[in-house]
Chain A
Amino acid sequence: MITLSAVTKTFGKNRVLRGVDLTIPSGQSMVIIGGSGTGKSVLLKCILGLVQHDTGTITLDGQDVTKADRDAFLARFGMLFQGGALFDSLRVWENVAFRLMRGPTKRPKAEAREIAIEKLRRVGLKPEVADLFPAELSGGMQKRVGLARAIAASPEIIFFDEPTTGLDPIMAGVINDLIREIVTEMGATAMTITHDMTSVRAIADRVAMLHDGVIQWTGPIADLETTPDPFVQQFIHGRATGPIAAVR
């Protein structure tokens, strides 16, 4: 279980997170929604330690993430980045098997390649793709390779940062279905950041809305449509008028 208590983060004069309280139960898929620039990615990076939060605490299974053994902590995570973040200089299979070929869980090259090809197959990519370089792939294929890399070491927790941004609706649907299937079959805890409502409905067990640096609303996906919260209603229906300023 991941717990955030009164987490704040300021960049210069910009107070991005102003006291975030959030709990992500184990084995559940939590989706964070919110407008652009509201700090969703910063929140995710604070949990991973890619950005240091200013105040508040973030715990994983009761242990403060800032005091945990870094390698052991990160070994529990997989992450799909918004743009894929594939390493240009490495072939697709080397990207997928990156963690498998390094560190304490290092495997022989042939075995790592086999696992990579299996993971590529799991995300709907043919084995021939394994020897290509990321620049030779379409955006949708890169996202799928990123997804294969995120799940390659069978992590307990997977983060997805804007998984469908820049994809056509059909490919976005494919990615959403893959995420849902993989999270369910692995029994992983998932945290997804998105402002794509189709993704929210496909992926989420629970939803939290981040606005103005705090969690404005959180609840199960079934309550999303019926909640009277005006911020949520404006956001999910894409209304220009309401409590959220259209020009921020």
Chain B
Amino acid sequence: MTALTAPLAALGRPVLAALAAIGRVTLFAAAVIGHIFRPPFYPREFLHALMQIGWFSLPVVGLTAVFTGGALALQIYSGGARFNAESVVPSIVAIGMVRELGPVLGGLMVAARVASSIAAEIGTMKVTEQIDALVTLSTNPIKYLAVPRVLAATLAVPVLVAVGDAIGIAGGWLVGVNRLGFNSGTYLQNTVDFLESWDVISGLWKGAAFGFIVAIMGCYHGMHSGRGAQGVGAATKSAVVGASVLILAANYILTELFFSA
């Protein structure tokens, strides 16, 4: 009997652990959402988080977008040449950037930069008893630490995505005009003609969802960090890995919701 059930138990343990972890993160996210609309509010912490998450992520998101847009133009041109369809480069670059690559790569870059930084900062606060100190000073750590960051990330990442979209399309245009011989005016006209507003808006909604995921994972893992430097390191790693996987999973679900026939 044991021989029969042992493999099932070995399979069941990680499944149960994963389900429990999903439950804990979901409860944490619900607690954060519940605190967003209830006072006290911390505008100073929110503005600080907005600067850290939004403004200081612009360079990394911009650089990612410009190179991705350029590479995308090269790939589509090369692939399109097999069907004599080189002229689709501007429209495919634009649609690819705003629907998929802008939000997903922007989200992943923010996950790498922001989820790690939030988890490390809050994790360090936990191991140095700063979170306990907050409690003794009658301040709810979720409200003071998590809510401003989650709100800031949810609002800032769509803006980053919009900027990334524009820079990515510009990257494609640069390569298209200077490397692939497209006429500048025609390239831009094709980009505008084939792009629909929903393409852009759906990408911005994805950005908001990804920003929420990034901040939730950073805050959750920071607040549940283990002891010492190793604990903070593990929390940081879990935040980045968890946020990245959830972004990719959420991207599929949102794409199904937005674009399935």
Contacts and interface: CB of A to CB of B under 8 A. Distances in A.
A70 B139 CA distance: 11
A85 B40 contact: no
B75 interface: no
Interface residues of A, number: 24
Residue with the greatest number of chain A CB neighbours at <10 A, chosen from B40, B133, B139: B133
B128 A85 contact: yes
A240 interface: no
A82 B136 contact: no
A81 B133 contact: yes
Contacts of A86: 130, 133
A85 B139 contact: no
Contacts of B135: 48-50, 74
Interface residues of B, number: 13
Given A83-B128, A85-B128, A99 B138 contact: yes
Contacts, number: 49
Interface string B79-96: 000000000000000000
Interface string B49-77: 00000000000000000000000000000
B132 A74 contact: no
Given A83-B128, A85-B130, A48 B136 contact: yes
A108 interface: no
A234 to B, nearest CB: 29
B40 A87 contact: no
Interface string B110-134: 0000000000000001001110110
B1 interface: no
Interface string A69-95: 011001101110111011111000000
Interface of A is mostly: loop
A82 B132 CA distance: 12
Contact of A102 (B125, B129, B136, B138): B138
A11 to B, nearest CB: 12
Nearest to A81: B129
B136 A87 contact: no
B8 interface: no
A103 interface: yes
B228 to A, nearest CB: 13
Interface string A128-151: 000000000000000000000100
A124 to B, nearest CB: 21
Contacts of B48: 89
Contacts of B133: 79, 81, 85-87
22 contacts: A45-B132, A48-B136, A49-B135, A50-B132, A50-B136, A74-B135, A74-B137, A78-B136, A81-B132, A82-B129, A85-B128, A85-B133, A86-B130, A86-B133, A87-B125, A87-B130, A98-B139, A102-B40, A102-B137, A102-B139, A103-B138, A103-B139
Interface of B: 40, 48, 125, 128-130, 132-133, 135-139
Interface of A: 45, 48-50, 70-71, 74-75, 77-79, 81-83, 85-89, 98-99, 102-103, 149
Given A83-B129, A149-B137, 5 more contacts: A45-B132, A70-B138, A74-B137, A81-B132, A102-B137
